[in-house]
Each structure stands twice: as C-alpha cells, then as structure tokens.
Structure 1
Amino acid sequence: MSLRAGSRVPRAKVPWVLWVPAGLALALVVLPVVGLLVRSDLRRLPALIVSDSALAALRLSMETAAISTAACVLLGVPLAVVLARSAVPGIRLLRAIVLLPLVLPPVVGGLALLYLLGRKGFLGYLLDVTAGVTVPFTTAAVVIAQTFVAMPFLVVSLEGALRNAGDSYEQVGATLGAKPWTVFRRVTVPMLLPALGSGAVLSFARSLGEFGATITFAGSLEGVTRTLPLEVYTQAESDVDSAVAVALLLVVVALMVIVVARPRALEGRA
C-alpha cells in the first residue's frame, strides 16, 4: 500500500499485553516517590528544605556534579573515540575495564580510589611526599569519585553512537587529505553532538546521586564533601522528617535536570 506525498505515517499500536508489565514497571518507579510524599511533614517541609545544611549540600552537589561532568566530557570523548575506532590488540579487554564502574558496587570503587590516592596508596604517597597534596576527604575527592562512576555512562553513549554511524564520513575526509585531528574536529565531533548531550545529562544525573564511592573516599564533612545523598543519610540517623525533605529536594533537582537539560534527540516523536 502506497502513501500519498505529505501524508503522515501512522504510528504502530502498542500490543495490549504490554500494558500490564509496563504499568507495574511505572508503579515500581513512581510509588516509592509517592511514599516519600506521604511520609513527609508538609508543614515543616519548606523550612527543612531551606535549612543551612540542606542548602550547603545542594550547592556542593551542583558544583561537584558540574565539574565532574566537564571532566567526563574532556576525558570520555577521546576514550570513546579510541574504543570505537582503534583496532589495537586488547581493545575488548580495555572496553571491559572502562565499563567496570557500571557493575562494581560504588563502595568498592571508593575503596579502590582510597587505596590509590590515599596516603598509603602508591599514587597518593607520591603526591603527599612530592607536593604535600592529600586528596581523600576533600572536595576534589568528591569530584574524582563522581567522575569515576559517571564517565562510563558517557563513554557507552558515545561509543554506541560512533559504531551506529559508521566511519564512512571520516574515511571521506581522510581521502580528501584532511589530517586526523581535522577529521576528528570537523567530522567526528559534530556527528557526536546529540549523543554527547544525552551522555552528559546521564553523567550529571549519576554524579548528582552518587553516594557509596563518595562517602568511602571523601567522607561526609559538611560544606566540604557532604553532598545531597550524604545529607539524606546523615539526617536519617537523627531526624527522619529532615531526611525525607532532603530526599524530596534531591528528587526534584534530578527531575529538573532530566526534563530541562534532556536533549530533544531523546524525546522521540511527539
């Protein structure tokens, strides 16, 4: 059956049998948030959200997540290109190692960072002896922990985009005499922009919600390393209402990041 020029292609209908598991999946995501709303003390909620500790944690979370996202972009883009385009021996093993933070418990990642950059770690010892620099339990440690757990999300997005796009355009550029750096800058980077946007949003959201690696490697010092997830954990030990309020604040911020910063490429057709 042919379609007239300018006519809209009808959407395929969703099989009715999928609505039940889809509804269950949606309930699994939505109902816990509803539980937070039900448990919250609405009368105290505004005061708890604007408390000094909550605002300090929010500010620190936004700043460190932004810095770690920038680090993910600066380091993850070259890494994704190398993984997608190079054919060096052992590239499959390298890819598996890069994706390791996706499957490791975050607390294990925090321990690994601590034994690398702590005073007893080989790199941390060198930094301490040569430059007097101590990384653990500082704001820099928060950024490093967030970058460690968030960068694989960016790398996965970019590498998949590069493999799906193929390298024909880059080959054309090389055939025309362009140098590798020119091909990367003028062909590869523009081709990656939609995936880069979605990967950056994922990295920022993952950094914003990071807990295990941060508390293990950076600790929980108010105004220095205590991000919003750590503030929720701290308040839960003494004031459940405050913990719930800060948790709702984190949910709202995360939703705003996803809705506002999410690229149009991810939206699909309206």
Structure 2
Amino acid sequence: MDGVGDKPAWTWIFILEGLLTVLAGVASFWIIQDFPDTVKFLSEAERTVVIRRLQDDDQYSAGGEELRWKYIWQSIFDWKTWLGTNLLTVPVYVAACGMTCLVGFIADRHGIRGYLNIMGCCIGAPGYIILIASRSPALSYFGVYLAVCGIYPNIPNTIAWVSNNVEGIYKQSVTLAMVISFGNINGAYRAQDKPWFTLGHGIVLMYIGIGFICSVSFLFLLRNENAKRERGERDEVIVGVNDKQDEINGWILERKNGKYDSIADAKREKGDTWSGYRYTA
C-alpha cells in the first residue's frame, strides 16, 4: 500500500488497526450490555441468579444503576483511585509470568493483595539498584530477573485490589481506567543512554518507591476505615432501624453519613462508602 493516499506503507498499518478499534468501539454500544437486568439473551430466572450472585459479592449496583455525574466525581476524589496508581512497568517475560500467576493464586486464595504489592516492591527495587550500579552483564541479567519478578505481578494485583475495594459500576469503571492509565507510565529509555540506561532504570526505581509508599498507605487507610466502621463512626440513619435512638447522636450520624429509607437504599446510594461495606487488604 506504499503510496496509496500519498502515504507511506507503514502509516497504513496504524490506520487500518486504528480503524478496526474505532469500529469495535462503536459496535460496543450495541454488543456490550449495561447491567444484568437488561440483558435480552438471559431468561428472567437467569437474570435473577446473576444479580443475586453479584450482590452477594458486595456489588450492590448489579441490579442497575443510573449514570450520574456524582459517581464520576466520587471516583476522582476517592483516595483509593490515586493510591492505586502504581507506576510500574518494564520488559521481560517467562519469569515474570510465573511470578504473576503465583502471586495471583496466593492473592485469590488468601486475600492479602496489599502485602503482596509491598513484597513485589521490595523484590523489584534491588533489581533496579543492581541495573543502575552494575557494569557486569551477568549481574545485570540477574538484576533484570529481580526487577520483573517484583514489578510484573504488581500490575494485575493492584488492578484487582482496587477493583475489590470500589463499588458502583460507573465509579469502578472510572477508577480502574485511571489506575490502568497511570500504571502504563514508563521510564525514559533513550538511545543515547545505552547500554546501561541509568536514567530509565532510575525513573522506574522512583516509580517502585512511589508504589511502595502508595501500597503501604492504601493498606493502612483501608484498615483504618474498616476500624471506623466497626466502631460505628460511619453508620447511617435508617428509617425504622436506628432512627429512634438518642436524638443528638442520631442527628450527628444523619449529618455526617446520611439518612435512608432502607439499608438497600443506603447500599445502592453509597456503594463502598456504606457503613456495612468492608474493604479487603
């Protein structure tokens, strides 16, 4: 296709691939379903099972949610969105794949994603320190293994961790989009820095430091927030449940946390900020 449309052949690779992506994006408006309760290819009984299963997994918005700007702003101003943006990437594959699978298995089995993130930073940081300081190809090669075994598992682990701690279809979609976007920021690997690429490795080491601080902060704040909910500091006033309690205390709770006609209304309206929601470490 060289010369077609007065364009060199290589540009058509990007044009055709990009065009396919655009068409797929347009088609997604009709192909991808918004909520289980509106899916046409499921029977009523199947929709009920899917919705109940999702709601049992603390996804209260599974039964349907109206798009509101407040959910977008909730995501943007939620500290979990920003602390979940681990700025970690860099190549190598087989060892990283094995470690990623292992970390995923352990995280799913024991639910300790925050601690695994911190461990990953502690493994990856020495790898990049070696890459910066070493002038031995063999030692640098060893450093690469440490680097990727530390940072590669943290990428899907962070996405899953943030996803587990954000409720609401629209809020979750914005939060994850931001987390994934920030996570794709990379080091500055310039041709003039070869063969050691000290600047690029130093930038990624800085990202690992940011990732470590964010993971520790994320873990601490999640545990702190759960403790506040256990103490009742996040309790809402629910009509017919606790609205007849001490008048002064009830007024304070209503001012701070809101008043709702039912627990279901509180779940649907507040998502992961509902007092009964518990964050996972």
Q: TM-score, normalised by structure 1?
A: 0.33
Q: Give 1 or 2: higher helix fraction.
A: 1
Greater Rg over alpha carbons, structure: 2
Q: Which has the higher contact order (CA 8 A, sep 6+)?
A: 1
